[in-house]
Structure 1
Amino acid sequence: MNDTTQTQSNLRSEARIARGALHRLRQDLFVDAFAFRPMPPMEDAKVPRLVPKRLRHWARWLPHFAVGFFSVCVFLLTFTDSYISGPLRGVLVGGFSLLVAIPPVLTLFRPVGAFWLSLGAFLLSMCAHAFAPVYGTTPIVSSAYPTHLVVMALVVLRTRPRLAVEMWLVTFGVAGVLSVLIDRGSGELPSVAFFSGVLLVAAAAVRAWREERRQVVETRTVTAEERGRRTLLEERALIARELHDVVAHHMSVIAIQAEAAPYRVENTPPELATSFATIRENAVAALTELRRILGVVRSADPDAFAESDPEAPQPTLATLDSLLDSVRSAGLNVEAVVTGAPRPLPQGVELSAYRIVQEGLSNALRHSPGAEARVEISYVLGGLGLRIVNGPPSRLAKPSPGAGHGVLGMRERVQMLGGEITADHTEDGGFEVAAFIPVGSAAGEAATGGSKA
């Protein structure tokens, strides 16, 4: 019973292998056999350096010229040899010579179709030699077979190595059957089949070597790009660490001096003490956020610090009130208006919206001192709308060194999320930033689900 089961399993496996081989044969030689697949010219790097620069453009087409020259030689040779036998027979064999000479050129555009056309010419030459020989003594030495062998080699070089086996089986399988039908015997067919197999295996080896070499070049290119990208990330991390060291030092000094300043003055006014406390709180908050950003830059996972560092979470619109209070304490009279039903949004949208509002208010403080500002947040069906507008300054703004990239940063954030943004001066001399960030329903549901969890 076990032997029978094993035998049936082996038969099924062999049948499966046979079906797979037939399927591949059908896909390679029958499906879209005459599809247009032009051979591109050689790459400039493959053109020999000895070729003058003026001829390099034409040298790229050297393989096409070589195949075309071969086809012309085949046609002239067969037509000239056959025309000696008489005008009528020469014309007939001239047509056959054209049928033999076309497939090599056709391999440049329709390689598989060229194989079938060349195979037809080869089989036709076998029939012609069997019933009405016109030149040569056997079908094997006729011009059709050597040309067919060249066509098969060209097809292998242009397509894939496994076509060498498939074309060899089809060619000599059909040729063997035809030899039996026309009662010509096998003759030289086995020896020629062996020679053809060796030549096609060599062509397949060349094709496989070229394909492997191309993959190696692609792998090296990708590796070089990855190495360059990794180097760039390492340089950015280094710059971030250096920036942290510089900024953290000065912000620490500001925080310490702001904390110690009220104790250096007797009877410090409450307003002054509140201002120093606000300065210290902003400095400490900046240090905390700077450390968090540096941690994200140095981490391979951008979300690595979202849960492991709860003391420094990503700012969202829910924490916008603290930002507004900080700006008000700095002297900017700001009003916030929220329309629509607030809902949880994806983390990237929340963070970008917060940064846009933060940058818009910072610009108002920097460039429009004494002005009033208004922040409008609109929760709409398709996304989130933002509008930060401020009036004209009431006094001259001091120069702000290092500024000028705020609007660009806002544009990059919005464009990264597929939104739109406008930033321009208003008619009364103020400034307005209006942005819309789209939020898909799937993203909104995911964010809602994540918040409920």
Structure 2
Amino acid sequence: MKTLTPADARRFAARQLRTLYKHLTSPSEDGTPLLGNARRRWVRRIPYVVAVILQAVLIPTGIVCLSHFYGLVLPVAAALTLAQTAPLFLAVTRPLAAWWIIAATLVITAAITARHHQEMGSWPWTAPMVVGYSFLMLALALRESRATLLSVWVATILLTVLTTTLGLPRSGDGTTVLLIALSGAVLLLGWAVRDRAVARRLLTEQEQISEVERERRTLLEERTRIARELHDVVAHHMSVIAVQAASAPYRIEGVPDAAAEEFTAIAGTARESLAEMRRLLGVLRSEENGGEKAPQPGVAQLAQLVETVGRAGVPAELSVDEGLAERVPQAVALSAYRIVQEALANVVRHAPGARTWVSLSADEDAPALRLTVVNAPPPQQSESLEASAEGTGHGLVGMRERVRLVGGSLDTGPLPDGGFKVAAVLPLDPLQETTA
């Protein structure tokens, strides 16, 4: 085992002093004021208000202590007190620089007062010195890194020991231990408060990121579901075109050869388009969702949906214009069904037992399908299921996607009486209406 020589000890001490000096001269952050990132203006003003109050309290008491207890002339007492207290304004933005000024001033003050007669009070630190230094430690703890705070406390111990033991004609009293213990406690408390605030901020940011990711995932899932349903709708129509075009020469008598060839080409193009569409969108249909190959619901299935919701405890009434189910294109009818389905599901989750009205009517001038789902406030005796269900508002995302798909508009929001309204206008394609 290597023996530690005096030269090794000196080199180790020199390295430690260089490390200590580096932490004491390298601020960890920029000059942003303490609480400068707070949203409310009055919160950002708190450090300056505290600094003003400290000036108003510590300057008079400090001058009195130095002039009365130690017999310093008024100009010298005032200069030393201002040098100890004024840097607290600088501590709002650069507490480490303020520490250098105040620490040097405290040592100079202790050296001067040690050679003056002491009527009463404490030495080397007076009460105003201890109070001002403690607030400086709090500013440091709220701004600097853990290594810098430890270095400041070690430097405080060294300065206190050197002040009271090296070449001064007076020994220190209990204020020496008080300053060391109080500064360490304030640094530890301030660092704990700051660390907790940083942890809460990071947790809030993570929650916001998670919420954005959930909304994005919900949006993508809804778009995928819409793509699957559109695949079924378009595939049905393309299949009908292919079958009609292929069977036209056999169903219609006297079809010219050129027309028969044209029908054959149309049928072939339809089959090719159908195959290509299935290759592009087939990846969206997983094996688990194979059941979605069934015919998609529409306006005609709303009565069954309302009946199902009624069995869940939500009394709902449905009003549909006569013959509307046959006039609405399949894509629009599917969007209308999904919007009503999500709106009724929200009533079940957030307002169980509330009376609900579902209305679908055709606007002949637009032309457009007007859809309205309105629910009354839930009964007083009913307990909301929102606490047990994850009501994050993602259903509205799907509604907006459905409406955007067909180029319509959506209006949702609470009603004055405590209910909720979902109103959508879905354009009807005149060409598809004529075909239907």
In the other structure, the counterpart of 1:158 is 143
For residue 228 of structure 2, what is the amino acid of its counterpart? R
**Equivalent residue number for residue 165 of structure 2:** 180
Which of 200, 203, 210 is equivalent to 1:213? 200
- 1:219 & 1:34 partners in 2: Cα distance? 23
Contact 2:156 2:180 (8 Å CA) reproduced:
no
Q: 1:257 & 1:24 partners in 2: Cα distance? A: 87
**Structure-1-length-normalised TM-score:** 0.53
CA contact (8 A) 1:42 1:61 kept: no
Give unmatched runs, 5+ long, in structure 1: 9-14, 48-56, 300-401, 405-453
Matched letter for residue 231 of structure 2? H
Q: Does 1:67 find its partner at 2:51?
A: yes
How much is the aligned-residue C-alpha RMSD, in angstroms?
3.9
Structure 1 residues 278-287 or 82-91, which shifts more? 82-91
SS state at 1:140 partner: coil
How many angstroms does 1:64 deviate by?
Answer: 2.7
Cα distance in structure 2, aligned partners of 1:173 and 1:250: 88
From 239, 251, 256, the counterpart of 2:243: 256
- 1:290 and 2:277 matched: yes
2:128 aligns to what? 143
Are 2:101 and 1:117 aligned?
yes
Q: Distance in 2 between matches of 1:256 and 1:76?
A: 101
| Mapped partners of 1:179, 1:85: distance in 2 | 18
Q: Is the 8 A contact 2:134 2:183 kept in 1?
A: yes
Choose which of 177, 193, 199 in structure 1 pairs with 2:186. Answer: 199
Give the deviation of 1:138 after TM superposition: 0.5
- What is the alpha-carbon distance in structure 2 between the residues aligned to residue 131 and residue 34 of structure 1? 40
Q: What's 1:310 paired with?
A: none
The aligned runs of 1:301-316 (5 Å cut-off) are none
Q: Partner residue of 2:79?
A: 95
- The C-alpha deviation readout for 1:341-395, integer Å capped at 9, x for no partner, is xxxxxxxxxxxxxxxxxxxxxxxxxxxxxxxxxxxxxxxxxxxxxxxxxxxxxxx
In the alignment, is the contact (CA less than 8 A) between 1:153 and 1:203 conserved in 2?
A: yes
Match in the other structure for 2:234: 247
3-state SS of paired residue (1:118): helix
Equivalent pairs counted in the alignment come to 281
- Structure 1's 238 and 175: CA in aligned 2 closer, same or farther, altered over 3 A? same
**Change over 3 Å in CA distance of 1:123–1:295 after alignment to 2:** farther
Distance 1:285 1:26 in 2: 78
Residue aligned with 1:139, SS:
coil
- C-alpha separation in 2, matches of 1:167 and 1:216: 30
User: CA 1:82/1:176 → structure 2, altered by over 3 Å: closer, same or farther?
Assistant: closer
Aligned counterparts of 1:158 and 1:238: Cα–Cα separation in 2: 50
Distance 2:212 2:29 in 1: 38
What letter is aligned with 1:240?
A: A
CA distance in 1, matches of 2:47, 2:227: 54
Q: CA deviation at 1:247?
A: 1.4
Percent identity of paired positions between Structure 1 and Structure 2 = 31
Contact 1:262 1:268 in 2 (8 A): yes
- Separation (CA, whole Å) in 1 of partners of 2:173 and 2:70: 29
- In the alignment, is the contact (CA less than 8 A) between 2:23 and 2:148 conserved in 1? yes
Letter aligned with residue 25 of structure 2: F
Q: Specify the alignment match of 1:276 in structure 2.
A: 263
Unaligned runs of 5+ in 2: 5-10, 287-404, 408-436
Q: Do the aligned partners of residues 193 and 276 (structure 1) sit closer, same or farther apart at CA in structure 2, a change above 3 Å counting?
A: same
Alpha-carbon distance in 1 for matches of 2:133, 2:21: 20
1:172/1:233 CA distance change after superposition, 3 Å: same
Cα distance in 1 between the residues matched to 2:200 and 2:149: 20
CA distance in 2, matches of 1:43, 1:70: 22
